[in-house]
A and B are shown apart, each in its own frame.
Chain A
Amino acid sequence: MSLSDKDKSLVKGIWAKAEGKAAELGAEAVARMLVAYPQTKTYFSQWGDLSPGSAKVKKHGATVMTALGQVVKNIDNITGFLSSLSELHAFKLRVDPANFKILGHNIILVFAMYFPAEFTPEVHVAVDKFLQNVALGLSEKYR
């Protein structure tokens, strides 16, 4: 389900609004993923403290959101831009791609929480499509 010009514009729009709070949004999304989908904790067993307030969880949330911000800036070439991150996820991290959908859901939920007026259904579908394309780009090198 590829991104139309309108989708790209809506994604850029909401991301611009979220820019100042990117780290916080990311931290919330990852924290919620770990609490609501405990199976995702299996990828972070080496961290010890996986509670929402933990420094490592917050830092990882920021890392993920920063990377997504970069993808938004390269929205016309998502798969190409994600090439090395795809290799990382495929060969080193070996994250089951089903989990990209789970994190995506939590990112969307956090957007809705922080921007209830701006995260209209139209923006929601554009972001959902975007994250789906990101997941596809990240899975590119898997097999």
Chain B
Amino acid sequence: MVEWTEQERSIINNIFSNLDYDDIGPKALARCLIVYPWTQRYFASFGNLYNADAIKTNPNIAAHGTKVLHGLDRAVKNLDNIKATYAELSVLHSEKLHVDPDNFKLLADCLTIVIAAKLGNAFNPEVQATFQKFLAVVVSALGRQYH
């Protein structure tokens, strides 16, 4: 079971309560598709992903980015039970979406970088470590039901 200190819970809740989901979500997903272009394989039906500008302005990608970020809310609200909280989503990503679980880490890294860019110095080493710990737990839970 993952242990969270009061400090870590506070940091995580703070980040998410001050987050502009409609800004950060799209930016994180677009960055992932541009920096790791092989991830585009999962978005063939989303329209024009031909170049960086097309990706950045694609409304389907933007909407999906926001959706994914809101998906993290579940983990924030259930910090002590992330594994069970994401069991269904894990099955979905494995059985229906067929996403290589290595990709979860790529998106997590892009999200970290986008939030670091937004928060600047407020994203100090301790906040970074806590946020990355949170995302690592989420990533692990999402990969749990693969077989």
Residues of A within 8 A of B (CB): 31-32, 35-36, 52, 105, 108-109, 112-113, 116, 119-122, 124-125, 128
Cβ contacts under 8 Å, A105 to chain B: 109
Chain A residue at minimal CB-CB distance from B27: A121
Classify chain B's interface size.
Answer: 20 to 34
B83 within 8 A of A: no
B112 within 8 A of A: yes
Q: Given contacts A105-B109, A108-B113, A112-B117, is CB(A121)–CB(B125) below 8 Å?
A: no
| Total A-B residue contacts, Cβ distance less than 8 Å | 50
Which of B35, B55, B120, B129 sits near A116, CB closer than 8 Å?
B120
Chain A residue at minimal CB-CB distance from B51: A122
Map CB proximity to A onto B118-132 as digits: 1 under 8 Å, 0 otherwise. Answer: 111101011011001
Whole-angstrom CA separation of A121 from B40 in the bound complex: 15
Contact of B125 with A31 in the complex, beta carbons under 8 Å: yes
Contact of B52 with A122 in the complex, beta carbons under 8 Å: yes
B76 within 8 A of A: no
Which of B35, B118, B132 sits near A36, CB closer than 8 Å?
B132
Cβ contacts under 8 Å, B121 to chain A: 113
Instruction: Beyond the given A109-B112, A125-B34, please list 18 additional residue pairs across the A-B interface where CB-CB is below 8 A.
Output: A31-B125, A32-B128, A35-B126, A35-B129, A36-B125, A36-B128, A109-B116, A112-B114, A113-B119, A116-B118, A116-B120, A119-B117, A121-B31, A121-B34, A121-B35, A122-B52, A124-B34, A125-B35
